[in-house]
Amino acid sequence: LQDALAEGAGSKLHFYAFDLLHLDGWDLRKAPLIKRKALLAELLAGQAANAAIQYSDHVEGDGQGLYDQASELGLEGVVSKRADAIYMSGRTKSWAKVKAQKTDDFVIAGYTVSDRAEGLAALGMAEFENGELHYRGKVGTGFDRDMATELLGRLERLTA
């Protein structure tokens, strides 16, 4: 989105809706995802192919094939969700985001602690190049709270 807006494509953007949490005053968060998606599809049925809001359909089954196709198209990745899961905010075990990006090996060169909650805020990353370690930047961890707290404990024991 940020890249598209920076290129001035704001008037050409489409919003792809993939979930529906409320409808006509009803809280749908306790309904299974497959039911929420069916209601969303019904709500958006009949939209023009170039409408600003589009329904994001789902694929059942061949997750590896979908991931491979996303990678070939240069997409960020795929999100897999349990069809029978109720909606829960934040990261849960009922869904997984798998990024389709090239990987490389980096060294954790440092870390920052979160001001808002226990655990990590970011990892400082470095890379070996021609036998020397070069700082490459910091990354948000993406870990859930428990994992971030555990990892922080491990890193603190290594701190000189």
pLDDT of residue 104: 79
Second CATH level (architecture) for the domain 2-99: 2-Layer Sandwich (3.30)
Q: Tell me which residue of 60, 10, 15, 53 sits closest to 33, measured CA to CA.
A: 60
What residues does each domain of the chain span? Answer: 2-99, 107-158
What is the mean pLDDT, run by run of 10 residues, along the chain of 160 residues? 57 85 97 98 91 89 88 88 93 88 84 78 90 90 78 84
pLDDT of residue 146: 83
Global pTM value: 0.58
